[in-house]
Chains A and B, each alone.
Chain A
Amino acid sequence: DSGVTQTPKHLITATGQRVTLRCSPRSGDLSVYWYQQSLDQGLQFLIQYYNGEERAKGNILERFSAQQFPDLHSELNLSSLELGDSALYFCASSPGHLSYEQYFGPGTRLTVT
C-alpha cells in the first residue's frame, strides 16, 4: 500500500458525460501528479500540482482539468467524455516538487460507453 488513495476504483459512464476522479496523497506529500494509461498511448503524464498550484502540464486535453485543494487532495475533472478517454487514471504523490520516488495510487479505471 503506497499510502495514496484514489476514488472511485471503477467508473462506467456514457459519452458526453462529465466525471470527477479524486486523489488523496500520502501524508506529508505536497505534490500530486496525474497520469493516464491507455492501450494505445501507454502511460502519459497529464498534470502536476504542488501545494495547491499547477507546476507542470503534459498532454492534457482541454476537456480535462484538475485542481489541488488546501487539504492537498486533488481532483481530475473529465468532461465531454469520448470513447477514447477510457483508460486507467493514476494519481501519484511525492514530498516535494521533484519527481523522485513518485508513489502511485491504485488507479481509477474509467470506461466510457
Chain B
Amino acid sequence: AQKITQTQPGMFVQEKEAVTLDCTYDTSDPSYGLFWYKQPSSGEMIFLIYQGSYDQQNATEGRYSLNFQKARKSANLVISASQLGDSAMYFCAMSGTNTGFQKLVFGTGTRLLVSP
C-alpha cells in the first residue's frame, strides 16, 4: 500500500523567504510519481509540480522545486521567495504501478501562512 506522511500541520514564513514543506512516502511500487498540490481558501486544488521516481534531476517549476531523496523516501517542496498569495494548504500525493497510476494517494496537508 502507498502512504504519504506530512508531519507539519502548519508552517509560518515571512514574505520573500524560502520555506520547505516536508513529505515522506512509503511504497513498494517499483515505479511511482510524486505530486504537490496547493489548495487556497477558495477550495480548488492547484497542481504545482511532479517528480517521477526514475527522474535523475529534481523537478522545478518557477518558484517551486521538489527536493527528491529516493533513499530517504522524501519529496519535500521548496518554495522560494514566498509571496502572500502562497498562503494555502499544501498536499503531497503519490501514485504508482501497483495502482496502475490511476489514483492519487494524498497526505493530510500542511497549512502555510505567509506573513508580510
Q: Residues of A at under 8 Å CB distance from B?
A: 2, 33, 35, 42-45, 48, 55-56, 58, 88, 90, 92, 97-107, 109
Q: Which residues of A contact B47 (CB under 8 A)?
A: 2, 101-104
Given A42-B108, A48-B102, A101 and B50 contact (CB-CB distance below 8 Å) = yes
Contact flags B25-46 to A (C-beta < 8 A → 1, else 0) = 0000000010101000011111
Q: Which residue of B lies closest to A42 (CB)?
A: B108
Q: Residues of B at under 8 Å CB distance from A?
A: 33, 35, 37, 42-47, 50, 91, 93, 95, 99-109
Q: How far is the CA of A106 from the CA of B106 in the complex (A)?
A: 17
Interface pair B43/A99, CB less than 8 Å apart: no
Interface pair A56/B100, CB less than 8 Å apart: yes
Interface pair A33/B103, CB less than 8 Å apart: yes
Question: Can you list 10 A-B pairs with a CB-CB distance of less than 8 A?
Answer: A2-B46, A2-B47, A42-B108, A45-B103, A48-B102, A99-B102, A100-B50, A101-B50, A102-B35, A104-B47
Interface pair A45/B104, CB less than 8 Å apart: yes
Interface pair A99/B104, CB less than 8 Å apart: yes
Interface pair A99/B33, CB less than 8 Å apart: yes
Given contact pairs A45-B103, A106-B43, a sample of 10 additional A-B residue pairs in the complex whose CB atoms are under 8 Å apart: A2-B46, A33-B103, A33-B104, A42-B109, A43-B91, A56-B100, A97-B102, A99-B95, A101-B35, A105-B44
Set A2, A42, A45: member contacting B44, Cβ < 8 A = A2
Set A2, A99, A100, A103: member contacting B103, Cβ < 8 A = A99
Given A90-B45, A101-B50, A104-B45, A48 and B101 contact (CB-CB distance below 8 Å) = no
